[in-house]
Amino acid sequence: MPLSTSIKFVVIAFLSIVILLSIFLNSRSIFANGQQTTSYSSSSQGKVFVMYAASLVKTFEDILGPSFQNKTGYKYTGEARGSVQIANMITDGQRTPDVFVAAGTVPIMKLMMNNGNNNPDAGSIQPPHSLLAQWLVKFASTEIVIAYSPNSHFHVDLDKAKRGEIPWYHVLSEPGFKFGRTDPELDPKGYYMIIAAKLSNLYYHDPTIKQKILGDDDRNPKQVFAEETLITTLETGQLDAIAAYKHEAIPKGLPYITLPPQINLANPTYSDFYKRASYTLQHTGQTIYGESVYFAVTIPRTVKNSDGAISFVKFLLSADGQHILQSQGLNHIQKPIFEGNMDKIPSAIRNIMTLAE
């Protein structure tokens, strides 16, 4: 073989080796970068979309949500609305949350009887696998109070009512008094206030109290405000007092009037008395009877991040979650209470409930 040809062969071979080595090293670099990207992605657990009763907005957005995010690595995203409205939005396909936290059990029970076709047949049994929810867990309780503005023109009488010196319902029925509450068709607190007013008629042996404080219309347009804006409307001076949960008033530093336990829907001892009052939803005809007010949670069928949803419910039921709720004025339940199909509750959540026994 001529020398020049040999040199050309060596040069070509050398260049080929260089090119192949370069490709190999680049591919390793790309693979390594991909590994780093994957590792980074796995450390970010993904978003958990929680829809919850708007009375919990300060607790969830300022404390519980960020605490959950810091502890677990999941990104917390919350949306607050009236609980009945949330159930309607899930049923209609307008929202697809990973977790649903409701005031009372009625909103979640609606999902437990509905398959999401927006045409539930009350006379038929829906297949369990098609229901929008199959279980719920009660994790905290609260009570109805009358929260008021310290800047109200009626603040002197409201303070007296708080101390028990004059009847609270006398103050609320004074001429010119502006009282606010939520829509009973969209929010449990709305129908709980109506039930509490009916119980007042019975407790004080005065059939006129409800009409004097709420008016003739259960959805009195002068009193009904969106759940999301009710407290703000009070704080800006547009109202003198509102129907509130105790845990709403405490974090805001609002003064409030404590109602008798026979009226405030907080004491299970009076369950039979509570049931003597009710409210019938206009859009469904369902009758809601008085009951102790619990907050309940479920993971609906709309869940997209199952692991994240389970992690959120576990945090809610944990000692850390319960401490946060209690610090905000909610009442602790010694043992979580479940309803529905126990077998469908994720095992990680069942384990927490077992430990609480």
pLDDT in tens, 60-105: 999 999 999 999 999 999 999 999 999 999 999 999 999 999 999 9
pLDDT of residue 44: 53
pLDDT in tens, 285-335: 999 999 999 999 999 999 999 999 999 999 999 999 999 999 999 998 888
CA–chain centroid gap for 2, Å, is: 86
pLDDT of residue 352: 77
pLDDT at 10 over 50: no
DSSP state of 151: T
What is the torsional sign of CA 199, 202, 207, 208? negative
In degrees to the nearest 10, what's the CA dihedral of 292, 295, 296, 300?
130
pLDDT of residue 357: 53
Protein fold of 144-280: D-Maltodextrin-Binding Protein; domain 2 (3.40.190)
pLDDT of residue 115: 66
CA–chain centroid gap for 249, Å, is: 17
Could you write out the DSSP letters of every residue in 15-35? HHHHHHHHHHHHHHHHHHHHH
335: closest CA among 315, 355, 306, 308?
A: 355
Q: Which residue has the tokens 């490709």?
A: 23
Please, which pLDDT band fits residue 11 given cuts at 50, 70 and 90? very low
Protein fold of 47-140+301-355: D-Maltodextrin-Binding Protein; domain 2 (3.40.190)
Burial class (CB in 10 A: 0-12, 13-18, 19+), 233: middle
245: closest CA among 174, 192, 305, 186?
A: 192
pLDDT of residue 215: 97
Could you write out the DSSP letters of every residue in 179-193? EEEE-TTT-HHHHHH
Asked if 356 and 336 touch (Cβ cutoff 8 Å), the reply is yes
107: closest CA among 224, 231, 191?
A: 191
Residues in the chain: 357
Structure-block tokens of residue 231: 């407290």
CA–chain centroid gap for 111, Å, is: 15
pLDDT of residue 32: 34
* Same CATH fold assignment for domains 47-140+301-355 and 144-280: yes
Please, which pLDDT band fits residue 168 given cuts at 50, 70 and 90? very high
Phi and psi torsions of 35, nearest 5°? -65, -40
pLDDT at 16 over 70: no
Kindly list the strands in the beta sheet with 224-225, ordered across the sheet, starting from the edge strand earlier in the chain.
Answer: 224-225, 179-182, 241-245, 144-148, 256-258
Other C-beta atoms lying within 10 Å of the C-beta of residue 31: 10
What is the torsional sign of CA 165, 170, 176, 179? positive
pLDDT at 339 over 90: yes
Asked if 228 and 133 touch (Cβ cutoff 8 Å), the reply is no
Task: For residues 241-246, give the mean pLDDT.
Answer: 97
pLDDT of residue 117: 57
d(C-alpha 150, C-alpha 171), whole Å: 14
Task: For residues 227-241, give the mean pLDDT.
Answer: 95
H-helix or E-strand spanning residue 289? strand 287-289
| Domain definitions of the chain by residue range | 47-140+301-355, 144-280
d(C-alpha 306, C-alpha 47), whole Å: 11
Helix (H, G, I), strand (E, B) or coil at 143: coil
Amino acid at 25: L
d(C-alpha 192, C-alpha 6), whole Å: 97
pLDDT of residue 335: 85
pLDDT of residue 355: 53
d(C-alpha 97, C-alpha 90), whole Å: 8
pLDDT of residue 354: 62
